[in-house]
Amino acid sequence: MNNPNCYNSIMDCGGSQISSTITVDKSNKSSDFTSLQAAIDSISPNNTKWVKIQINAGTYKEKVKIPVNKPCIFIQGRGKDVTTITFDDHVAPNSSSTFTSFSDNFVASDITFQNSYGLQILEDLRNHKISFDGIRAPTLAARISGDKSAFFNCGFVGFQDTLWDELGRHYFQGCMIEGAVDFIFGDGQSYYRDCVLNVTALGSITAQARKLDSEPTGFVFAGGSVIGSGTSNSLLGRGYRPCSRVIFYKTNLGSVVRPAGWDAWTSKDDVYDPSIHSFTIISSLIYTYIIVFMHLYYSVYAGVAFSTLRFCVQDQVLELPNMFLGKRI
């Protein structure tokens, strides 16, 4: 029976009930598959009911892709600290991602997606207190291109271009996202709630790719914190496209954030009024400050357009934003 506290209309997969569960365990202990990709491959195309993939603890070295014709998948790990999907491809952004989802109506929880290329070098240098500005190569942990995609208590670990928030409406809650250079980028319409952004070297956190004023896309970071090693190592963002827009709302900003805050980058000719976009960091902990760069982006967008509804998956109650209602704008 459906939970009366949940809004089943928020997703398009026949309500909140799970139609079947597939188990994954790398040691093959009473599981259906030993790899996540094999479990995804087993799901029928054009599925219209929720299918849950329960992936047990372990480190799975594989590249994983959910094609556009396989919606309504819910992947759940045993915890982001014990369940990891990892690979080390670093050739090109459109091919190097460890995890790629092109499908609509996708949910993941309690799992880490990692691109391991260069991470051991970075860790060794940090242990010896040697400064390091990183390996300049696309090390994508995840590429998210489907509409209505949500991530709860997940980890995203890489160095450059960690999370490609490419297209669609996306929601991230309680996630940890780690990197240095443009490590959250793309043109998604996305809300990051109570997420931790961990800066590991000199660079920029966001590179949002909104092209036109008429587009509803942008990144909102509500609550959470920006942490990392070093002082003034990172910009909050830089303008990847002419109308890039990002909000940090009630976010704790650590000393790793560079006082300049943002840079116009490729969109220097499109900054209409620099006074709109500048700001001053008053202290290392800012709970009520809104930072807006490239175009003025009203706080009501974070408070109203991104208010939440509840979505239930069996015994779990997951809150998703109002923007998931209806069709993609």
Q: Which residues are marked as active site?
A: 161, 182
> Nearest to residue 237, comparing CAs of 263, 200, 256?
263
How many whole angstroms separate alpha carbon 60 and alpha carbon 199?
A: 25
How many whole angstroms separate alpha carbon 141 and alpha carbon 183?
A: 10
Rg of the Cα atoms in the chain: 19
Helix (H) or strand (E) holding 300: helix 299-300
How many whole angstroms separate alpha carbon 276 and alpha carbon 258?
A: 18
Q: Is 105 left (phi over 0), alpha (psi -120 to 50) or beta?
A: left
Please name the residues in contact with 45: beta carbons below 8 A apart, sequence gap of 6 or more: 67, 69, 70
How many whole angstroms separate alpha carbon 85 and alpha carbon 62?
A: 7
DSSP string for residues in 85-137: EEE---S-TTT--SEEE-SSSEEEES-EEEE-TTHHHHHHHHHTT-------S
Under a CB-based contact definition with an 8 Å cutoff, are residues 240 and 255 in contact? no
Bridge partner list, 262? 237
- Say how many C-beta atoms besides its own lie within 10 A of residue 268's C-beta: 9
